[in-house]
Structure 1
Amino acid sequence: MNLDASLSAPGRRARRIAGLGLLVLGVAGGVYVVRRPLMMSAPRCMAGQWHGCFDTFNGVVLMTLVALPLSALVVCALTYRRRAAGVASAWRLSLAEVGMVHGTVPFVWLILMPGAEPGVAPARVSLVPLRDLVTMGTLGITGNLLVFASLGAFAPVRFTALASLPRILALGAGCSVLVETAQYVLRLDRVSSVDDVLVNTSGAVLAGLVSRRWWRTTARAEAGRERPEPAPVG
């Protein structure tokens, strides 16, 4: 009997439960801190009104938090379906799919939210690196780091073709350039800045480093399944 193997499974389960508990506490603490501005948008969001909910920062953040239980249910449903089909790493793949969508779409929505004079104000571009960075402030830098963080963390877990830091960097940079270009082409009265691209890409890479153990494990498992079995001797 392999005692180490028998003890490793409960240990991993305990670590997962502890990590999930810390994540829930962190989200709850963040919600408590910003509860007052979020609740300002609650009546209109609950009434399904576009103005005052989906066109405001507070409203989008509130609806993102409200949708968390639904995303959790989708993860459970996908995991159940994959396990029934005998798919390995069912929970990890399901969490990656839902996580990169739930954690990315709201930020892209906020980025593409029009300014005060969309279609009227001239399109603006800032191509000097680090010039806008000093004006972002802590909140702005943090927000830009989070834009494609979920994509950088979960995409390489779901797609083994992206399981390397250079590819995560290319993914984050490409998505950021696409969004900044959309801001310019659609004339949303927002500044398309190279610093936004740099910070967005850095966030994706940093998140990829955090989830590196997950996507390297998935990549090794995929490589093991694709490796042909040795031919029998004799």
Structure 2
Amino acid sequence: MLYLVFMPLPGDGGMVSWMPGAAVVSVFDAGTAGGSSLVQLIGNVLLLLAAGALATLRWPWFRRVGRMVLVAGLVAAAIEVVQWLLEAGRVSATDDVILNACGAVVGMMLVRPWWKTAGTDDARRAPVSEMDTNHAVIRSNSFATPNER
């Protein structure tokens, strides 16, 4: 992923596109529509899709759309700033940030059916009195056989 995002391209680097929606409109504009623009649009959506899915499964804090948009937007903005600073022939665009954040939200929604089973730390947080004592590990006597415990 890092290779695709930061790979140098021929051309002038350090260009910035501040107009939101310009890249999306160009994909659907009959005069300038090209295959590479559509691939770039889809790629921007897919860039943070897996991260959005995995983050919500691992950390329940990310299971709110606003939080996901905020964090994914900050990550995407950081990627765009690094691309701009590297001057690697890439255009830093607000569309990329928006599409990356949308991809993270799509990833979050795709794994929503698994939210109840993933990311729960109930076993770790349960008090010792609620744990099954038959399977507890006794650290001071870890080499004893089960009958000796």
TM-based fold match above 0.5 = yes
1:163–1:216 contact (8 Å) kept in structure 2: no
Q: Point out which structure has higher relative CO (alpha carbons under 8 A, 6+ apart).
A: 2
Letter of the 2:64 counterpart: S
| Corresponding position of 1:132 | 23
Summarize deviations over 1:2-30 as a string: whole Å, max 9, x none: xxxxxxxxxxxxxxxxxxxxxxxxxxxxx
Q: Distance in 1 between matches of 2:80 and 2:114?
A: 30
Note the C-alpha offset of 1:198: 0.6
Q: Distance in 1 between matches of 2:75 and 2:67?
A: 12
| Corresponding position of 1:167 | 67
Q: Distance in 2 between matches of 1:225 and 1:164?
A: 23
Letter of the 1:124 counterpart: M
| Corresponding position of 1:184 | 84
Structure 2 spans left out of the alignment, 5+ residues: 28-36, 131-149
Structure 1 spans left out of the alignment, 5+ residues: 1-105
Q: Distance in 2 between matches of 1:216 and 1:176?
A: 28
| CA RMSD, Structure 1 to Structure 2 (Å) | 2.4
Q: Distance in 2 between matches of 1:163 and 1:224?
A: 20
For 1:132, what is the secondary structure of its paired residue? helix
| Corresponding position of 1:222 | 121
| Corresponding position of 2:105 | 205
Summarize deviations over 1:38-79 as a string: whole Å, max 9, x none: xxxxxxxxxxxxxxxxxxxxxxxxxxxxxxxxxxxxxxxxxx
Note the C-alpha offset of 1:183: 0.6
Q: Is structure 2 residue 6 aligned with structure 1 residue 112? A: yes
Q: Distance in 2 between matches of 1:123 and 1:193?
A: 11
Q: Normalization by structure 1: what TM-score?
A: 0.46
Q: Distance in 2 between matches of 1:168 and 1:217?
A: 20
Note the C-alpha offset of 1:229: 8.6
**Structure ranking higher in helix proportion:** 1
Q: Is structure 2 residue 45 aligned with structure 1 residue 149? A: no
Q: Normalization by structure 2: what TM-score?
A: 0.69
Letter of the 2:121 counterpart: E
Cα distance change on mapping 1:163 and 1:229 into 2, 3 Å: farther
Letter of the 1:113 counterpart: M
